[in-house]
Structure 1
Amino acid sequence: MEERRLYGDAGLIEQKLANMQLMETAAGGYAAVYKDPATGAFWLKYYATAAREGGGYLTLLRLPAPTTEEVVQLAIGSPFVDEAVAAVLRLLDEEAIEKKDFRLQLVEKLGQQQPDSREQRQRLLQIIKLAGLDDPTNRREVLHKSNAQIEQDAVYFKAVAAKANVLLEKLQH
């Protein structure tokens, strides 16, 4: 069985960290790197800023950080609900902080899914809502951009939202 890449459950994170060695802290203690002596793997404990209310969502991420494509796969396919939620929040953080785009890739992957149970449909619905894929609001910076660039960004978010809304309609029936 492949080891998890993300943890989003505070209790599981504390259990996992109990067996690890603290290597360094940053951001006033809001981020820390740990080493798992059993595997040699490094882990980053941080607070996802996408869930700002209450100080963020405690997350544990195995380093090196997964690619956007890998995080999309975790959001959709992880058997662990906390890992799926942490993956969506990771995508939102990468979008906000690192300006990485994930929306079209995620909505297209969601559209390729063939959910055969109520639970699987529910997971896909939750991903769409948590990621805000159905919201056509432009989330990209507008300063120092031409009107044409801003309009191009707006068209992109509207197109993703339209695809997400078609998916929502299919999943709710």
Structure 2
Amino acid sequence: MSNRKLYGDAKLIKELLGKMQLVEEAEGGWATVYKDASSGRFWMKYHTTAGEQSGGGYELLIRLPLPTTQKLVAVAIESPFEDEAVAAVMRLLEEEALEKKDFRHVLVNRLEEMNLESLPTEQKQRIRKVFTLTSLLDPTNKREVKGKTIEQLKEDAAYFENVSKRALILSDKL
């Protein structure tokens, strides 16, 4: 296997798992851990909840230990593999929804550091896809609102408005 951190192609995942040893399965089968005998690396296969509204989540194979937010952002915008980039975005969305991890500011900061105008067309298209999958240009608050004070709601709304404005400037450079 290559130095990839994630796989999102179901056919490729099935092929890879055929070469690995099942180590552990979570109750209910929502996640399974495998060991790649040739490298000694551990991998987790699971279905994200991101995308459930549209038909059932996204199957992921992710190398353990789990990548950091910064690493997932880098994979999303730099991986030469389409399925790995999409899998990274799905993982970011999953962590945002379930673990309340912010990734949007990390993504925008990273993109602001790049010279977007000089990127190859393929990478520009990838970044546009990341914008679409994450709804990065949408200023709507995507955090839970129940049980929050007006001040907390205003802070959340300001966060998404700020990210959206910065992303819009970046989008124009693409």
Give the TM-score, by structure 1 length: 0.93
User: Which residue does 2:155 correspond to in 1?
Assistant: 152
2:124 counterpart of 1:121: yes
Name structure 1 gaps, 5 residues minimum: none
The one-letter code matched in structure 2 to 1:144 is G
User: Which residue does 1:6 correspond to in 2?
Assistant: 6
Counterpart Cα distance in 2 of 1:168 and 1:150 = 27
Query: 3-state SS of the aligned residue for 1:122?
Result: helix
Counterpart Cα distance in 2 of 1:116 and 1:86 = 22
2:134 counterpart of 1:131: yes
The one-letter code matched in structure 2 to 1:45 is K
Counterpart Cα distance in 2 of 1:111 and 1:129 = 17
Bigger shift: residues 63-72 or 44-53: 44-53
User: Which residue does 1:35 correspond to in 2?
Assistant: 35
Change (3 A) 1:56 1:167: same
Seq. identity, %: 54
Give the TM-score, by structure 2 length: 0.93
Q: Deviations over 1:41-70 (max 9, x none)?
A: 111001121121222111000011011111
The one-letter code matched in structure 2 to 1:155 is A
The one-letter code matched in structure 2 to 1:140 is R
Query: 3-state SS of the aligned residue for 2:50?
Result: helix
How many residue pairs get aligned? The number is 171
4+ aligned runs moved over 6 Å, structure 1: none
Name structure 2 gaps, 5 residues minimum: none
Counterpart Cα distance in 2 of 1:113 and 1:17 = 36
CA positional deviation for 1:27: 4.9
Alpha-carbon RMSD across the aligned residues, in angstroms, is 1.5
Query: 3-state SS of the aligned residue for 1:49?
Result: coil
